[in-house]
Amino acid sequence: MPVGLAIFLIVLGILVGAVGGFFIAQYLMKKHLRENPPITEDVIITMMSQMGRKPSQKQVAQVMKQINANMK
């Protein structure tokens, strides 16, 4: 096998691996955030309470809906 072909195949393998790794990592990160959201209803209630508001369940549900819509 000529040296030029070997170098080409090595570079090609590295590029394919980097692109494939990027998309796999992106998919796994999105899946993890869907299953374990960083913001829950308890966090929203705590944040609103710290701002001096007593949130109703309707307000909490509305905020959660907005957050989930922005995650997609």
Tell me what pLDDT residue 35 has: 86
Structure token pair of residue 30: 């999105």
Question: Is a pLDDT exceeding 70 seen at residue 70?
Answer: yes
Tell me what pLDDT residue 72 has: 66
Shared domain for 14 and 32, answered yes or no, is yes
Shared domain for 13 and 25, answered yes or no, is yes
Q: Which domain holds residue 44?
A: 38-72
Shared domain for 27 and 46, answered yes or no, is no
**pTM of the prediction?**
0.59
Instruction: Tell me how many domains the chain contains.
Output: 2
Shared domain for 28 and 59, answered yes or no, is no
Q: How confident is the model at residue 6 (pLDDT cuts 50, 70, 90)?
A: very high
- pLDDT tens digits for range 11-64: 999 999 999 999 999 999 999 988 887 888 899 999 999 999 888 999 999 998
CA 22 to chain centre: 13
DSSP state of 55: -
Cα separation of 67 and 60, whole Å?
11
Shared domain for 32 and 59, answered yes or no, is no
By CB atoms closer than 10 A (0-12, 13-18, 19+), residue 49 is exposed
Shared domain for 25 and 44, answered yes or no, is no
By CB atoms closer than 10 A (0-12, 13-18, 19+), residue 59 is middle
Shared domain for 68 and 50, answered yes or no, is yes
